[in-house]
Structure 1
Amino acid sequence: MSADQKPLLRVVKGDPDDYQLAALTAVIAGLAAAAPSSEDKPAARSEWANPARRMRRPLQHGPGAWRASGFPG
């Protein structure tokens, strides 16, 4: 390691052996790989799954009701 590079991990307290350091390194590497990146965007929600589509006005009764039922209001 050159003088201008910082170590990735530094033990502040205790005296871990090689196996403990390897386990710690594996856990930290796994967490870093599993972290969501800022480029991940949630999938676009289908308009068919929109709960607002289940809300509608009561159906009209009377002349022209069949025509009015097909138009959003």
Structure 2
Amino acid sequence: MSPEPVLRVVRGNPDAAELAALTVVVAAAASAPTDTPAPLSTSAWADKSSLVRRPLPHGPGAWRGSSRSR
């Protein structure tokens, strides 16, 4: 008893080179990794967002608040 073929031509009459090309494409698609690794997260020590200055407050007394850290 022979196993069922994996690929079956349902329309047309491909030659041996066309069947070989199709087989290579299907085999490459089947062996390609499906999972992409998760991106590495940046640690809090390496996070540069704490170095970015917050916007200065507006309005009366804003000059006093501009020198105070929050």
TM-score normalized by the length of structure 2 = 0.53
Q: Distance in 2 between matches of 1:58 and 1:19?
A: 66
Pick from 40, 43, 57 the counterpart of residue 44 of structure 1. 40
Count how many residue pairs are aligned between Structure 1 and Structure 2: 58
Unmatched 5+ stretches in structure 2: 57-65
| Aligned match of 1:11 | 9
Cα RMSD over matched residues? 3.1
Structure ranking higher in helix proportion: 1
Runs of 4+ aligned residues of structure 1 deviating over 4 Å after TM superposition are none
TM-score normalized by the length of structure 1 = 0.52
Larger radius of gyration: 2
Identity of aligned residues (%): 41
Unmatched 5+ stretches in structure 1: none
Offset at residue 55 of structure 1 (A): 5.3
